[in-house]
A and B are shown apart, each in its own frame.
Chain A
Amino acid sequence: MMYQYRILAYAVFFFIEAILYLLPGWMPSTVPFGVRIPPEFAGDPVLVRLRHRYRQWVVVLALVMGLLLVLATRFLPSPGGTMLLSSFLPLLWLIVGYAVYYATRRQLLAIKTKQGWYEGQRTAAVAEIPEGAEADRSRARSQWLWILPMIAISAVTLFLALWRYPHLPAVLPIHFGPNGQPDAYARKSVAVALIPFFTQLGLLFVIGLSMVFTNRMHTPLNPAFPRTSSVQQRVFRSRIVIALGLMGIATALSLLTAELLELRVLPPQITAWGIGLFPVLGLAGVIVITARTGQLGSRVRVEAAEQPTGFVARDDDRFWKGGVFYYNPEDPAFWVPKRFGVGWTLNFAHPGSWVMIGVVLLAVVSPLATHLF
């Protein structure tokens, strides 16, 4: 029973630690450790030293956390231990990782201020205005490349469920333990038989919406290298769409496997593995894409080298509370690129962000509430 939970716990552990270790290499060179610096300091020995120190700490703490994990999987009684593994430990790893980031950021901020890296810099901002409409249209088409397989998988799921429905027993399993043994049941109805399909529909909606938003996400260009950062951000957006597509297809396949399990089409030992396998494969693909792209396409090589314009972005460090939360009432932007991470985060000074948080909280709390009452 505990066996597969352990594998999952170790997988999450390696996933989190690997990302913590690699993340500094994925960030744009002008925002190392969440600190905005002029491009001429991007190769400064101070940064090389800080990056080295950050990685040493991540490795040392990963060893400690790994030991904790081994002890937890060995000695904790299984039901409580499972809860601990699945919720508390990953949170602890994230907090420890954040602490290392925060300490490194503080050091860099102090050095930047003391040595006056931003003094006498000419600050500017650059925006790009599309010259033609063709580029936007071709990007919109590329979304369908990823949405269509998801629709096909959902259709297969629906077809299988309706085809097998008359042959199903009066009571259907709706939840399974890690080795494919059902541990919750419901009376037979079309709605219950179609739970995986409805989940796929919801997923399709969320992924499709995320793709549309991703393609519309226009974030500030680097004024020092506007042409380069424009190309990089375009590649970044299209890679994020691919990553979303991969994750969507993987999850849809996982749900199809869940439907097969529910319908008893395949032996439960096979399908139980399939449910977990597809998301892991999808996640692995997403990590490879991210590692090759970097935040805002910072790892994308642009053929034509660009001379620095002599301008730098405004110093916006003070708007990043704790190095991760952006709060700037003067900035009309709703989405802003993450300061230490890949993707976008909210401008918490924007009124819309509170609506967003409310919606997410509601989505998280309402299933819990219905579960409790």
Chain B
Amino acid sequence: MFISIDFADDKPIYLQIHDQVIDAIASGKMFPGSVLPSSRQLAAEFGINFHTVNKAYNLLREERYIQFSRKKTAVVSEPLMNETLLQEWDNRERTLLAELVARGVSRQDIVHRVGRLLDSVRLSVENGSKGGEQK
């Protein structure tokens, strides 16, 4: 799988990397046990400072998407969900939904959009891409 960073994007590079790893886990391209390249190696491939990649990895670890093994390699964790995380997500999602409601988008439209986005996230899993079912 490819991870790309857009130097002109307003989104900071570490967040671009962070978001794409989550996307890869959601779509089944990465799964519990998948190994990420070392931050030095990934940074060398991008030609960017390795602290930037470290920042992305550390954020992913804090959020429990990945963990560092004894040899300090970043490995995708078993999915973790609990009440606190759900609560946090609800808060963020509520703001996003409120944005649409405030701009007068109808409820039906919002539900349709959310459904379509959810489908696009899960697309590769349902297409039978290797990953989730391998484990």
Residues of A near any B CB (own CB < 8 A): 122-133, 218-221, 223, 226-227, 230, 309, 311, 314, 316, 328, 330-334
Check B43 for interface membership: any CB of A closer than 8 A.
yes
Check B49 for interface membership: any CB of A closer than 8 A.
yes
A328 to B42: give the CA distance in the assembly, Å. 17
Are the C-beta atoms of B44 and A334 separated by less than 8 Å? yes
The 3 closest A-B pairs by CB, nearest first: A333-B44, A127-B45, A125-B46
Chain A residue numbers with a CB within 8 Å of B37 are 127, 129-130, 218
**Which residue among A218, A220, A333 has the maximum number of chain B CB atoms within 10 Å of its CB?**
A333
Q: How many A-B residue pairs have CB under 8 A?
A: 86
Question: What sequence of 0s and 1s flags, for each residue 1-43 of chain B, a beta carbon within 8 Å of any chain A beta carbon?
Answer: 1111111100000000000000010000110001111001111
Q: A218-B45, A220-B45 are in contact. Are A332 and B50 (CB under 8 A)?
A: yes
Chain A residue numbers with a CB within 8 Å of B45 are 125, 127-128, 218-221, 333
Check B47 for interface membership: any CB of A closer than 8 A.
yes
Are the C-beta atoms of B2 and A126 separated by less than 8 Å? yes
Q: A124-B7, A333-B47 are in contact. Are A132 and B1 (CB under 8 A)?
A: no
The binding surface of chain A is classed by DSSP as: loop
Are the C-beta atoms of B1 and A125 separated by less than 8 Å? no
Chain B residue numbers with a CB within 8 Å of A130 are 35, 37
A126 to B17: give the CA distance in the assembly, Å. 11
Are the C-beta atoms of A220 and B47 separated by less than 8 Å? yes
Chain A residue numbers with a CB within 8 Å of B35 are 130, 133
Are the C-beta atoms of A314 and B6 separated by less than 8 Å? no
Q: A218-B41, A220-B46 are in contact. Are A129 and B6 (CB under 8 A)?
A: no
Are the C-beta atoms of A127 and B2 separated by less than 8 Å? yes
Check B121 for interface membership: any CB of A closer than 8 A.
no
Chain A residue numbers with a CB within 8 Å of B43 are 332
Residues of B near any A CB (own CB < 8 A): 1-8, 24, 29-30, 34-37, 40-50, 130-131
Are the C-beta atoms of A311 and B29 separated by less than 8 Å? no
Are the C-beta atoms of A314 and B2 separated by less than 8 Å? no
| CB-contact partner of B2 in A122, A132, A226, A333, under 8 A | A226
Chain A residue numbers with a CB within 8 Å of B29 are 131
Chain B residue nearest to A350 in the complex (CB) = B44
Chain B residue nearest to A127 in the complex (CB) = B45
Chain B residue numbers with a CB within 8 Å of A219 are 45
A332 to B42: give the CA distance in the assembly, Å. 10
Are the C-beta atoms of A124 and B131 separated by less than 8 Å? no
| CB-contact partner of A129 in B3, B5, B8, B47, under 8 A | B3
Chain B residue numbers with a CB within 8 Å of A132 are 130
A70 to B90: give the CA distance in the assembly, Å. 83
Shortest distance from the beta carbon of A133 to any chain B beta carbon, whole Å? 8
Shortest distance from the beta carbon of A137 to any chain B beta carbon, whole Å? 13
Are the C-beta atoms of A124 and B44 separated by less than 8 Å? no
Chain A residue numbers with a CB within 8 Å of B49 are 330, 332
Chain A residue nearest to B6 in the complex (CB) = A124
Q: A131-B29, A226-B4, A311-B6 are in contact. Are A125 and B130 (CB under 8 A)?
A: no
A-B contact pairs, 14 of them (CB 8 A): A122-B6, A123-B6, A124-B4, A125-B7, A125-B45, A127-B45, A128-B2, A129-B2, A131-B131, A132-B130, A226-B2, A330-B48, A331-B44, A332-B48
Shortest distance from the beta carbon of A134 to any chain B beta carbon, whole Å? 11
| CB-contact partner of A331 in B3, B24, B30, B47, under 8 A | B47
Are the C-beta atoms of B40 and A332 separated by less than 8 Å? yes
Chain A residue nearest to B21 in the complex (CB) = A129
Chain B residue nearest to A132 in the complex (CB) = B130
| CB-contact partner of B1 in A131, A309, A331, A333, under 8 A | A131
